[in-house]
Amino acid sequence: MSLTWWWVMRHWELKLLALAVSSGLWLFVMTSEKTNVTLPLPVELDAVPSGIIVTSERPDTVDVQLHGLRAALSRVEPDGLRVRVNLAGARPGELVVGLGPDQIVVPPGVSVLRITPSVVRIGLAKER
């Protein structure tokens, strides 16, 4: 048996244990690291009253900054997220709506930090 082989195999149990512990530590650090991600999400108008139409341009998307564990953010599907603006009870005229975290449903472990722009203006008129 060569000296190199003997050196590699000497205390192999401890070397295997060290490899397992270091792999577990690496996995823990990589999955528990918190990070932020910014996604462009579409603006969706809900509960538009009957007889009311939207007359003004509104942003198609807004930038939403999400915060959470890297593993949780990797499971977020941008196609399934929307910024919902509830227009129930709205009247004709210009409506200024503040956008907040409660208007976006995100998975557990993920929170909404910021929405840019934080306000949208929506022009409403009576349908003719």
- Return the domain boundaries, the chain: 1-32, 34-126
The pLDDT value given to residue 24: 92
Instruction: Dig out the tokens for 61 from the structure.
Output: 């998307």
The pLDDT value given to residue 39: 92
Q: Which CATH number describes the domain made up of 34-126?
A: 2.170.120.30
Is residue 48 within 8 Å of 87, Cβ to Cβ?
yes
Indicate if the pLDDT at residue 5 is higher than 80: no
Q: Which amino acid is at 33?
A: E
Per residue in 40-92, pLDDT (tens digit) is 999 888 888 888 888 887 788 899 999 998 878 888 888 888 898 888 888 88
Q: What is the CA radius of gyration of the chain?
A: 26
% of the chain at pLDDT higher than 90: 26
